[in-house]
Amino acid sequence: MIGRALDSNNDLIIEAGRLVTVADGAEVVQHVRSRLLFYLGEWFLDIDAGVPYFQEIFTKPANLANIESIFKSKILRTPGVKRLTDFSMTYEGGSSRTLSVSFSAETTFGLIDKDKVTINV
């Protein structure tokens, strides 16, 4: 698998006028991160793609078991991911208001060890 490399802001990386690419395990990690940051209904060509942030995650009271299930499902349905070996979520309130998802997974290219995705809520 080969994909276009993204920086920490999910922007394409261009060096010397050319798009940088990622392959194999790095591409799977990037794909998982992109899927977890993609909001349901964000893409007009497929409004069913994405994570239901407004519909099920940014709700009061939060259903943590449901939220965990949603994130695990998105990770496991990512091409190249075989199984999750570790998963955790942490919420930081106050002024930062962030939800962090940390996971390790076995992929067709090896082990993803403790990758972290942070969502601003």
pLDDT tens digits, residue range 1-19? 678 888 877 788 899 999 8
Predicted local distance difference test score (pLDDT) of residue 1: 65
- What is the distance of C-alpha 45 from the center of its chain? 20
C-alpha span between 93 and 55 (Å, rounded): 20
Please answer whether residues 36 and 42 qualify as being in contact, where contact means their C-beta atoms are separated by less than 8 angstroms: no
Each domain of the chain, given as residue ranges in start order, spans: 2-120
Percent of the chain with pLDDT over 70: 99
> Residues 52-74: pLDDT tens digits?
999 998 888 888 899 999 999 99
Residue labelled with tokens 């998802």: 101
| CATH number of this structure's domain 2-120, picked from the four choices 3.30.420.130, 3.10.20.520, 3.10.450.40, 3.40.190.10 | 3.10.450.40
pTM of this prediction? 0.85
Query: Considering just the CA atoms, what is the radius of gyration of the chain in Å?
Result: 15
Token pair belonging to 77: 């349905």
Please answer whether residues 99 and 90 qualify as being in contact, where contact means their C-beta atoms are separated by less than 8 angstroms: yes
